[in-house]
Structure 1
Amino acid sequence: STNTTEDAEQDEAVTFPDDLYKQASKASAEDKLGFTVQVLEEVVVLFEADHSSASWQVSTVENFLNIVTRQAEGLRSCIGSHLHNNKNKKLHMYFKRLSHHV
């Protein structure tokens, strides 16, 4: 069998992106909000994926997702639309890699 880059990525541990959070902590208030909105939205995508093998109760996950979605929407209303459309690609890739391990 041949190993692809994607296979190798799935086998690697997904380390917490400290550098991205450090950058965000030094950003403007509006950029911090944009970063936080993206984190919340990425968490929603992560938990919306099919995790039928997980032992989570569906209602618990749905309630969690509703709360996180409301928080993201509330924060999104505080930032300009230009920031909401300006996603952090590295943060997105972190959550994409993380989704392979959940």
Structure 2
Amino acid sequence: MELKTAATAGTMESSDIMITLTPSDSATTISLDSSVEKQFGDQIRAMIQQTLDALAIKQVQVTAVDKGALDCTIKARTVVAAYRASGKTDYNWEDINAWIN
């Protein structure tokens, strides 16, 4: 999936995560701000990267502000931000669910 513009998904509410994807000319970077980073930072980054890989997104700058989101929320917010950034509107949620599980 090719990203055309920056896009954000999620909120700053408790148990959510705000994911911002910005197209980049270099390798993927993930910047994470989380109150539980010491315990779950590696897992959060891995979940974001796994979702990006499933969507075939290679060069992107990711900014994530986590407020205790579960894995399913991290995946969902990453997918929505990717679709917004790509400009795609033809969602096939059954296919997306299969890709990221």
- Higher share in helix: 1
Would you say same fold, with TM above 0.5? no
TM-score calculated relative to the size of structure 1: 0.31
TM-score calculated relative to the size of structure 2: 0.31
Higher Cα Rg: structure 1 or 2? 1
- Higher share in strand: 2
